[in-house]
Amino acid sequence: MATLVSLAGGAALWELAGRTADTSSLPPLSQVLGRLAEMTREGTLVGSVGDSLVNLALGLAISLVAGLAVGTAMGRGRRTEAALGVYVHALLTAPSLVFAPVFFSLLGAGRASIVAVVVMYAVFVVIVNTASAVRTVPPHLVEMARSYGASERQVLVRVVLPAAAPLIMAGVRLGVGRAVTGMVNGEMFIAVVGLGRLVTEAGGRFDSAGVLAVLLIVIAVALGALALVQAVDRVVTRWTPTTWKDAR
């Protein structure tokens, strides 16, 4: 409910700002939506969204699998942490787009390069969060499991991962947001396909309404992906107590 009110407020504000400013660089929401409908009719939009979603899905899947594996290894092993931590933190803070030319020359101007950019954007934040989530699992739970004869694999599957799940999911959420950014940037700077192409083209025509229309789609994609993550999150973290101040 609060979300809907907030969205309606934002939309109204945008419309108002667009009409008052009266410049072509900030078209009101109604005009952007009109442009969106037009693009859908032209048929370019649906195919582009499909292209982009495939890039996003592939990049995210790789990021999640690699991020969970590397993060867990770093969180469980001090030596792994020491060996990989410096690279992970360096790459986490490095502007991910600088790797675009590298992928371009290695993998060509195709899907592989874009997926690689998505991974560069998303994977490190998943690694870092997973590692600290795994590292901060209550030691007494691990000790309890060991006292019942749990193997390292059982400790991991039955105790560490479930206990770390809430923090891991927080990292996944950040990763999804960054993956969407990576997707658009990859599509704009490497192979001009998908939503990135639409943005580039609209920008080239000084079609502000078009740019904003694509932006709306990108946001919708991001929110859709996040909603998926949140659905998983709710199941995984049902047991965690909350401290909402208005929880009654």
Partner 1 sequence: MITVHGLCKSFTARDGETVEALRDVDLEVAENEFLTVLGPSGCGKTTLLRALAGLVPWDDGDILVDGEPVRGPGPERSMVFQNFALLPWATVLENVAFGLRLRGVARAERAERARSLLATVGLAGCEAKLPGELSGGMQQRVGIARALAVRPRVLLMDEPFGAVDEQTRRLLQEELLALWEEHRLTVVFITHSMEEAVLLGDRVALMSARPGRIAEIVPVGLERPRSRDISGLARSGEYAEITTYLWERLREMHAEHRRDGVAS
Contacts with partner 1 by CB under 8 A lie at 140-141, 143-150, 154, 158-159, 162-163, 165, 238-241
Residue 149 CB, nearest approach to partner 1 (Å): 5
145's CB contacts (< 8 A; 6+ apart) are 154, 155, 158, 159
From residue 20, give the alpha-carbon distance in Å to each of 28, 35, 212. 9, 20, 18
Nearer to partner 1, 56 or 165 (CB): 165
Q: Where are the beta strands (DSSP E) in the chain?
A: none
Residue 154 CB, nearest approach to partner 1 (Å): 6
Residue 240 CB, nearest approach to partner 1 (Å): 8
Q: Given CA atoms 218, 224, 225, 230 in this order, what sign does their dihedral have? A: positive
- How far is Cα 58 from Cα 90, in angstroms, rounded to an integer? 24
Nearer to partner 1, 118 or 165 (CB): 165
- How far is Cα 22 from Cα 25, in angstroms, rounded to an integer? 9
Contacts of 42-45 with C-beta under 8 Å, sequence gap 24+, read 44/198, 45/198, 45/217
Nearer to partner 1, 17 or 144 (CB): 144
Residue 144 CB, nearest approach to partner 1 (Å): 4
Backbone angles phi, psi at 118, to 5 degrees: -55, -45
Nearer to partner 1, 120 or 155 (CB): 155
The neighbour count for residue 234, using CB atoms within 10 Å, is: 10
Residue 165 CB, nearest approach to partner 1 (Å): 8
Nearer to partner 1, 148 or 244 (CB): 148
Q: Are 130 and 68 in contact (CB under 8 A)?
A: yes
Residue 84 CB, nearest approach to partner 1 (Å): 25
Nearer to partner 1, 13 or 144 (CB): 144
